[in-house]
Chains A and B, each alone.
Chain A
Amino acid sequence: MELILTFAIGVLAASGVWLLLRPRTFQVIIGLSLLSYAVNLFIFCMGRLVVDAPPVIAGDGPVDPMLYADPVPQSLVLTAIVIGFATTALFLVVIVATRGMTGTDHVDGQERDS
């Protein structure tokens, strides 16, 4: 399971970085989205991968923390998703505005002289 998740993060991050370096704004925003998925999965797996374990400790008395999933990375991921989503939405607006004002979707706002 770790191996599959690692591959998923690696592929997402690599595609994200490649798209981020492309000259069109649409490619950049897709790249940023893929990168944010990679980062979110990365944070999630930093809490160790556990299957079928509740994150909230129930009842009183001594408990074995090994039987529970770490809830902190899950809440961190939630925060990161919300923030990433909001900033991506803002970025999308700026992209549309740039396209409207400069008439091109090149990241520099003008086509390279060819």
Chain B
Amino acid sequence: MNAWLQHLPVLPIVVPLITGAVLLFFAESRRLPRFVITLLATFAQLAAAVTMVWLTTDAVPEIWPRGIGVYAIGGWQAPFGIVLVVDRLSALMVALNVTLALSVIVYSIGRWDRMGVHYHSLLQFLLMGLNGAFLTGDLFNLFVFFEILLASSYALLLHGGGPQRTRMALHFIAVNLTASFAFLIGVAMIYSVAGTLNMAEIAWKWRVMLPDQRSIAQTGAAILGIAFLVKAAAWPLNFWLPGAYHAAGAPVAAIFTITTKVGVYAMLRAGSLLEDQASPFGGAWLFYLAIATMLFGIVGMLASRQLPRLVAFVVILSSGTILAALGFGKPMMIAAALYYMVGSVFGTAAFFMLTGMAERMRTAVPDLADRAATPPPSYTAFAVGEPPDPLSPDDEVGTALPAAMAFLGLAFVSCALLVTGMPPLAGFIAKFAMVAVAIESLPPDGSFGREWLLIVLLLAGGLAGIIALMRTGMRLFWSVSGRQVPRLSVTEAGPVAFLILICVIMTIAAGPTMTYLNSAAAGLADPALYIDSVLHQSPAGAP
């Protein structure tokens, strides 16, 4: 049993890799076997992720002592070989990712996986990149997994075709390629002085570096931080996001909500390991950058007229909120931000899926931006079968759901409450916890500081979100003229309900969840345990 469990960390990477490759052998027309395989593989990843979360709670100390699992790929020990490291944060991110992917896959089977080729393979490769980025303990390996997830996300953004998507993909690829070059420069500079790429060993050497080496390493870390912040959509590096998320298909945009969180995760991890006074991660400037991001998100939300664009700005606002908590730099605050992140990822993803359904009822004339005017050439090249008719968008498979409008309205309100942080759902608890920590750390003399700035912006973000979303919601659902009721299939409505249900469960079980997240944040605040577990030795010389 234990011998098998030690291979657990590699499963979330190997399973999607094999699945994505196997799916290529099935013709596009054989939908059922493709769907069954991809669903089984995603369930296997979910099982692995849940087991990892369970093991990191220190439930079985003989398998993973102190809740940190280290897996040396190929049996090469830590500083020489590449390691995968599972701590509470990684396990949480993988579980979050796979849960989201499961609902996205179910959502796509009605319509979206027929809009182009190799949709399910690309989704599995995206999962591989995401899981790998969360699990790896090696800086260059992190780059490789970033590239895997980016390469699949380029193709997924193009999924469905059309001039709008192609144009946005052009911007998206150009920005991300440039960010990847910044990543490489940062990695190379850190390697040149640390002489290693293992993150734990870099962290250890970071503490004993000579001053002239340290300045080079800090420059490298700053350039690395720019690459992470492009991914995390921090202002002013986020102008690619609204257009790309708006143009992407609904399920693709839903899974993209977690790709911005990879940047946030990398910032958290690097900020935890490379901790010192002048570290480019965390600290004052990150806080003010995040405040600017939040402001940008708020203004953007109020200015957007279409729902997908509005939700894209909600994604920016939530990235800004998490980065602000990271720049604030208290373990309790980071725990609250992690709670907020789980709720906002599920909330915005459900929102994007809802958008895909709501788009269809806008007018009787089908929304032509939603699909290519002419079927893309890949249809004939890959023998997908008949392309969906652009003039009958409700040509669905599966059972239609009764009371479609009631469901859409209810789901819209739930998502709006979630992402704006209004009671009674998870977003409220998260914002409440963040405001509580900020109030606790107010300076006694009552001067206006960054605590007040954070509180004001958290509340303003919620208010602006409610105003913008209710305005759009009223236009979309509660004014009846010229609308047609869309036929919703169970496979589309189910995932949205599932994601909202998870958030409800998270709200009810807020106590245990916060306990887990607090210990995850405590692990980030004390990286010695991580370093020690990876290197199997006491970090001598560490302060």
Contacts and interface: CB of A to CB of B under 8 A. Distances in A.
Interface of A: 20, 25, 28, 32, 35-36, 39, 42-43, 46-48, 72-73, 76, 79-80, 83-84, 86-88, 90-91, 94-95, 97-98, 101-102, 107-109
A98 B163 CA distance: 7
A73 B173 contact: no
A14 to B, nearest CB: 14
Nearest to B190: A46
B520 interface: no
Contact of A91 (B147, B167, B177): B177
Contact of B167 (A32, A76, A88, A98): A98
Interface of B: 140, 144, 147, 150-151, 154-155, 158, 162-163, 166-167, 169-171, 173-174, 177-178, 180-181, 184-185, 187-189, 191-192, 197
A24 to B, nearest CB: 12
Contacts of A20: 174, 178
Contact of A35 (B167, B169, B181, B191): B181
A35 B178 contact: yes
Contacts of A47: 191-192
Contacts of A109: 163, 167, 170
A36 B179 CA distance: 11
B166 A97 contact: yes
Contact of A87 (B140, B151, B169): B151
A109 B166 CA distance: 9
Lowest 9 CB-CB distances: which A-B pairs, in order?
A46-B192, A109-B167, A101-B163, A46-B188, A43-B188, A39-B181, A83-B147, A98-B166, A97-B166
Nearest to B372: A101
Contacts of A80: 184
Most buried by A among B158, B169, B184, B187: B184
A107 B166 CA distance: 11
Contact of B170 (A39, A87, A88, A98): A98
Contact of A94 (B147, B158, B181, B197): B158
A109 B189 CA distance: 37
Contact of B169 (A25, A43, A83, A94): A94
Contact of B185 (A32, A42, A48, A72): A42
Most buried by B among A76, A83, A88: A83
B171 A90 contact: no
B171 A107 contact: yes
Contacts of B151: 86-87, 90
B181 A79 contact: no
A111 B192 CA distance: 44
A48 B195 CA distance: 11
Contacts of B147: 83, 87
8 contacts: A72-B191, A84-B177, A87-B154, A90-B155, A94-B166, A94-B169, A102-B163, A107-B170
A94 B192 contact: no
Contacts, number: 87
Contacts of A90: 151, 154-155, 173
A28 B167 contact: no
A39 B64 CA distance: 39
A42 B181 CA distance: 11
Given A39-B181, A79-B140, A94-B169, 12 more contacts: A20-B178, A39-B188, A42-B185, A46-B189, A47-B192, A48-B192, A72-B191, A76-B140, A83-B147, A87-B151, A87-B154, A101-B162
Nearest to A106: B167
B188 A28 contact: no
Contacts of A32: 174, 177-178
Nearest to A29: B174
B265 to A, nearest CB: 21
Contacts of B150: 87
B369 to A, nearest CB: 13
A63 B14 CA distance: 38
A113 B171 CA distance: 20
Contact of B184 (A25, A39, A48, A72): A39
Contacts of A35: 178, 181
Contacts of B163: 98, 101-102, 109
B171 to A, nearest CB: 7
Most buried by A among B180, B181, B191: B181
Nearest to A70: B195
Contacts of B177: 32, 84, 87-88, 91
Contacts of A95: 170
B170 A94 contact: yes
A28 B175 CA distance: 11
A11 to B, nearest CB: 16
A41 to B, nearest CB: 10
Contacts of B170: 25, 91, 94-95, 98, 107, 109
A74 to B, nearest CB: 12
Contacts of B173: 87, 90-91, 94
A107 B169 CA distance: 11
A27 B189 CA distance: 28
Nearest to A87: B177
A90 B166 CA distance: 12
A86 to B, nearest CB: 7
A111 to B, nearest CB: 13
A84 B184 CA distance: 11
Contacts of A73: 188, 191
B323 to A, nearest CB: 26
A15 B151 CA distance: 25
Contact of B181 (A36, A48, A72): A36
A89 B187 CA distance: 24
Most buried by A among B147, B174, B178, B197: B174
